[in-house]
Structure 1
Amino acid sequence: MQAASSPYPTDPRQLRIQDFHYDLPADRIAPEPLPDRAASRLLVYRSGIIQDKTFRDLPAELPLGSLLIFNDTRVVRARLLAQRPSGGQVELFCLEPVAPHRALEPALQQTGYATWRCLVGNGRRWKSGPVQLDFQAFGQPATLWAERQAVEGGGESLIDFRWEPSSLPFAEVLRAAGHLPLPPYLHRPDTAQDAVRYQTVYAAHEGAVAAPTAGLHFTPEVLAALGARGLATGYVTLHVGAGTFQPVKADTMADHPMHAEPIIVQASLLRQLLGHQAGPVIAVGTTSLRTLESLYWLGAALVRDPAAPLEVTQWQPYAEVAEAVTPAAALGALLAYLERTGSAAVEASTRLLIAPGYRFRLVQGLITNFHQPESTLLLLVAALLGPGWQQVYAHALAGGYRFLSYGDSSLLLPDKPAAPVDFGTGFD
C-alpha cells in the first residue's frame, strides 16, 4: 500500500517537526475517562469523508472482512515514591531492567534485588545512600530500598533496588508499592478509577509504562459485536515505553532518537496474517501498527540474512525502501526462524519511526485517539493520511472532541481505500 499523496519530503529525516503543529487548548485534553468506555465519540475518516459517530458504532463502520490487531500489553505500576532519610520524597519511574536480567519477563519475576534504568524526580538533594519505601504485600509489612548507581543524563539513572521479604518478585513489589504512570500532561495523581480505566479490558501481559490508549474504548460488548459481524481479531504485544511521551526537541527528525520498545508476537498471529485474505488489516492503536510494520522489516532482514538480529532500527525502512520482499516472504521468514530456533513467539525490539515518506506493508487502517502536536504519533497519522491529518484534527477541534489518552477515538481509512492485502505479491 502506498503512503497517501503528501507535500512532505520523501525522506522523513528532512521533515520539520514544526510542520506538524496545531493549537491544542488545555481544556480539550480529557482529564478523566468517561463513565462508559464505549460512550466516547468516534470520528470516521474514509477516503477524505468525515462522519461523527460514537464508539459503539465501530463494528458497523469497519469494512467487511477486516482483521483488527490489538496490543494486549498491561500497564505496570512503575512509579515508586520513596523517602530520603531527611524526609524528602524521591520519585523513581522504572523504565527498563538492566541487571540481572534485561528481558522484561524474567526481570519482573526477579526476587530480592535488581537494577533498573529509572527517571528520577525531585532527586537533586539525593546525593548518596539509599532511599526507602515501606509498603504492604500480601497483608504483611515490606520494605524497598533504592540506591543510585550512576547518572546517565536526561533525568535517567541506574538504580539498584533491594527489598524484603526477598522472596517477593519485583512485579509484586510494583503492584503493592507503585503507582500507575499516568501521562504527565494530566497533572494529577493516579486514583482507584485509573487502576481499572487506564488498562484495556483485554490487557494480558505486564510490562508497559503507558497504556495503548486506542484500546481503552473497547468493552466486552463491543468486542462481541465485532465477532457477531464476522470481523476477525488478533493480538500482539508491545510494551509501551515512557518514550511515547518524549517530545520532539530537534528541528528536523534526523536529530530525534526513537526509543526502543520490546515486542512479542506469537507464531499463531503470523499464521493468521498469512491466511487472512478477506479484508483490510486494521491496527488498534499506534503501538499495534508499529508492531505489525516492524514484523515486516524483521522478516525482510531474515530473508536476506537468516542470522540477522531481531531488531528494527529507526531509519531501516527508508534505507531499504527499494527492497522487493513481499509481506508473505517476510512473515514466512519469521515463521521459519521460529521453527529453526524452537520458539513459539518472535521476541524483538523496535525503534521504528513511521512518518510521511513511509510505505505501509501490512496495515491498511488505524483506530486511534487524538495525539499531541509535534509528536511522533502525529507523524504516524500523517504518514497514513497525508495532508488529510489536518482535516481530521481541524474537524475534531471544531467539533468538541476530547483529546489525548482519555479522549475520544477515530477510525482512519486512507484516501486509497483498503483492499485486501495480497500477501503473495510485492508492493513495489
Structure 2
Amino acid sequence: MKVDLFDFDLPTDRIALRPAAPRDSARLLSVSPAGLDDRIVNELPRLLNPGDLLVFNDTRVIPAQLEGRRGDSRIGATLHKREGPRRWRAFIRNARRLHDGDVIEFGDDAVAIASDRGADGSFALDFLGEEPVELLLDRVGRMPLPPYIAAKRPTDARDADDYQTMFAREKGAVAAPTAALHFTPDLMAALDSAGIGHATLTLHVGAGTFLPVKADDTADHAMHAEWGRIDADTADRLNAVRAAGNRVISVGTTSLRLIESATRADGIIEPFEGDTSIFITPGYQFRGIDGLITNFHLPRSTLFMLVSALMGLETMQAAYAHAIASGYRFYSYGDASLLLPHRSTSGT
C-alpha cells in the first residue's frame, strides 16, 4: 500500500509534553462499530465486559540515551536492541565520524567499541570491562524520550517515573509501552472489582518501532526486530478467555504485536520466546486479540498502519480527525483510544 494513505496533518500543539495527572484522568476515545464516544480512561471498568482480559507489557525502560566522544568528535548513541551480554545495537548521531573499531568514551568508566555498521546507519557497541552494562547505563545513560518530546524540552527527573508504567519489571526496553502509562493502582482495583482480569508478557520495545516509514510503499519497509516472551501459563490463560467467549484486549501495540506473533492460524496462542519483526498493515487477519487500548500515533508510522488494519483505514482517519478537532493530546504522553472492532477483528 502507498504510505501516503496513512499521512495526516497534526498541529504541533497537540503533542503532549507531560502525561495527564493523575494518569487515569487522560481522555479516552472509544472507537467501535457504534461510532465514536468521548470518555475518560478511568471509565474503563464501565466500558469493558466482565470476563474481558487486559494484556500489559511488563518491559522496563532502561536509560539508553548516551553521549560520548571518539577523540575530539561528539557521538550520540541510542541503544535499541541487545545482541549479547555486553553488545547492543545502537542508532548513532554524528555517525559519519564513526568507523568500525573506533573506541567511544561515555564517561565514568563506560567505554565501548563500535563495529558492524548496518545499512540503517546503526552500529554494534561492545562495552568493555566486567561490570554489568545495566550498571554502566544507570551511571551515564539518560531516559530515551521520543524525539518529538526531546526536541521541545530536555529530559528531567520527572521522566524517570513518568516514562515507566506501573507494570515495568523486565529491563530491556528503550521506549515505553505507552498505553499502559494511563493505568494506576486505583484503576486496576476498579477493573478487578468489575470482573476484568489482566495478564502480562514481555516485549523489549526498540526505537525502530516508532520511526516514520520512509519508503513510498509499505512493501518496501523493513521492521526492526524486537525480543519478546509469552510463557506457557500466560498463553493458556489467554486461550481460556477466548474459548469462554470473552475478549483478549491488548494494552498497547507492543503486546498486540507479540500476541499476534505467537498465534497460530487456528487462533491458538502458543508460548513464545525470541525475536519478532511482524509488520501489520490493512488486510492483515487478526488471530489472537479482540481489541486494543493505545495512544494516538504519528502520521505515516507503522503503528497508525496497525490500528488502521484493526479498525479500517477510513474509520481511523475519521477517529483521528475527530481527536485533532476535539483537542486530544497525541503520542507517548498523550491521551488514549479504545479500539473495539467487529468480533472477527478483520479490519475490513
Give the TM-score taking structure 1 as reference length: 0.75
Would you say the 8 A contact 1:48–1:388 is kept in 2? no
Pair 1:78-2:64 in alignment:
yes
Match of 2:145 in 1: 182
Amino acid at match of 2:266: T
Amino acid at match of 1:96: K
CA distance in structure 2 between the aligned counterparts of 1:349 and 1:149, rounded to whole angstroms: 22
Would you say the 8 A contact 1:66–1:278 is kept in 2? no
Match of 1:315 in 2: none
CA distance in structure 2 between the aligned counterparts of 1:349 and 1:235, rounded to whole angstroms: 18
CA distance in structure 1 between the aligned counterparts of 2:2 and 2:98, rounded to whole angstroms: 38
Amino acid at match of 1:256: H
Match of 2:309 in 1: 383
Deviations 1:198-242 (A, max 9, x none): 010111111111110100000111111110101111111111111
The match for 1:95 among 75, 80, 84 is 80
SS at match of 1:152: coil
Pair 1:31-2:17 in alignment:
yes
Match of 1:64 in 2: 50
Amino acid at match of 2:89: R
Deviation at residue 147 of structure 1 after TM alignment? 2.6
CA distance in structure 2 between the aligned counterparts of 1:202 and 1:93, rounded to whole angstroms: 23
Would you say the 8 A contact 1:23–1:373 is kept in 2? yes
Would you say the 8 A contact 1:264–1:347 is kept in 2? yes
Amino acid at match of 1:95: H
CA distance in structure 2 between the aligned counterparts of 1:170 and 1:146, rounded to whole angstroms: 10
Would you say the 8 A contact 1:70–1:285 is kept in 2? yes
Pair 1:120-2:46 in alignment:
no
Match of 2:338 in 1: 411
Highest Rg: 1 or 2? 1
Pair 1:242-2:207 in alignment:
yes
SS at match of 1:35: coil
Deviations 1:254-303 (A, max 9, x none): 1111111111011111110222115211110111111111111xxx3xxx
Match of 2:190 in 1: 225
Q: How does 1:342-353 map to 2 (within 5 A)?
A: 346-353=272-279
CA distance in structure 2 between the aligned counterparts of 1:46 and 1:153, rounded to whole angstroms: 41
Would you say the 8 A contact 1:281–1:364 is kept in 2? yes
CA distance in structure 1 between the aligned counterparts of 2:87 and 2:197, rounded to whole angstroms: 41
Amino acid at match of 1:353: F
Deviations 1:35-65 (A, max 9, x none): 3211111111221421111111111111232
The match for 1:169 among 116, 120, 132 is 132
Amino acid at match of 1:148: A
Identity of aligned residues (%): 44
Match of 1:252 in 2: 217
Deviation at residue 393 of structure 1 after TM alignment? 0.6
Amino acid at match of 2:148: Y
CA distance in structure 2 between the aligned counterparts of 1:367 and 1:196, rounded to whole angstroms: 21
Deviations 1:183-204 (A, max 9, x none): 1111133211110010101111
CA distance in structure 2 between the aligned counterparts of 1:254 and 1:278, rounded to whole angstroms: 35
Would you say the 8 A contact 1:71–1:287 is kept in 2? yes
Match of 1:282 in 2: 249
Match of 2:160 in 1: 195
Pair 1:365-2:332 in alignment:
no
CA distance in structure 2 between the aligned counterparts of 1:64 and 1:47, rounded to whole angstroms: 20
Amino acid at match of 1:370: F
SS at match of 2:158: helix
Query: Which runs of 5 or more structure 1 residues have no equivalent in the other structure?
Result: 1-14, 102-106, 108-113, 136-142, 301-324, 335-344, 422-428
Deviation at residue 400 of structure 1 after TM alignment? 0.3
CA distance in structure 1 between the aligned counterparts of 2:282 and 2:89, rounded to whole angstroms: 32
Pair 1:132-2:95 in alignment:
no
Deviation at residue 74 of structure 1 after TM alignment? 0.7
Match of 1:304 in 2: none
Q: Check 1:159–1:348 CA distance in 2 against 1; reply closer, same or farther (3 A cut).
A: closer
Q: Check 1:123–1:17 CA distance in 2 against 1; reply closer, same or farther (3 A cut).
A: closer
Q: What CA RMSD, in Å, does the superposition of the two structures yield over aligned residues?
A: 1.8
Deviations 1:118-173 (A, max 9, x none): 111134445674232333xxxxxxx111232343243211223214xx3x211111
Would you say the 8 A contact 1:80–1:179 is kept in 2? yes
CA distance in structure 1 between the aligned counterparts of 2:125 and 2:289, rounded to whole angstroms: 39
CA distance in structure 2 between the aligned counterparts of 1:148 and 1:362, rounded to whole angstroms: 40
CA distance in structure 1 between the aligned counterparts of 2:272 and 2:36, rounded to whole angstroms: 37
Match of 1:396 in 2: 323
CA distance in structure 2 between the aligned counterparts of 1:60 and 1:17, rounded to whole angstroms: 37
> Size of the alignment, in residue pairs?
339
Q: Check 1:250–1:125 CA distance in 2 against 1; reply closer, same or farther (3 A cut).
A: closer
Would you say the 8 A contact 2:210–2:302 is kept in 1? no
Q: Check 1:129–1:282 CA distance in 2 against 1; reply closer, same or farther (3 A cut).
A: closer
